[in-house]
Amino acid sequence: MEELITQFDDKHEKPAKDRRIDLRLEAKQKAMLEAAATATGQSLMSFIVSNSLKVAQSVLREYRATELSLADSEKFMRMLENPAKPNKALLKAARRHRQKIKSSHGL
């Protein structure tokens, strides 16, 4: 019986919040965060944590989306090692760029 109680308690236990992050903010920044937290009915800390986690998830999702598959990364490396010859449009763009650089530096 005691084993069942222990298992039940373990399943419903909240993870320990034993890590800290200290922030130093300007008064205006803190006031804005407090106002937003109040508007959403959250405590300041809950607001900061939940929104920071949303942004972190978005950043990581975007980062992972740009990762290449093994085949794509091998193809990319082959293209770097054996670049194609520039076509007419690329050569024309390079000339225009060179002219802009020269004129912006007074050359």
User: Which tens digits make up the pLDDT trace of 7-52?
Assistant: 555 566 778 888 889 999 999 999 999 999 999 999 999 999 999 9
pLDDT on residue 1: 45
Residue 80 to residues 23, 34, 74, 106, Cα–Cα distance (Å)? 43, 50, 10, 34
* High-pLDDT (> 90) share of the chain, %: 60
Choose among 22, 44, 18: nearest CA to 31: 44
pLDDT on residue 7: 52
For 53-74, the pLDDT digits (tens) are 999 999 998 888 777 788 888 9
What average pLDDT does the chain have? Answer: 86
What's the rounded Cα separation, in Å, for the pair 104 and 107?
A: 8
Domain boundaries, the chain: 24-104
pTM of the model: 0.50
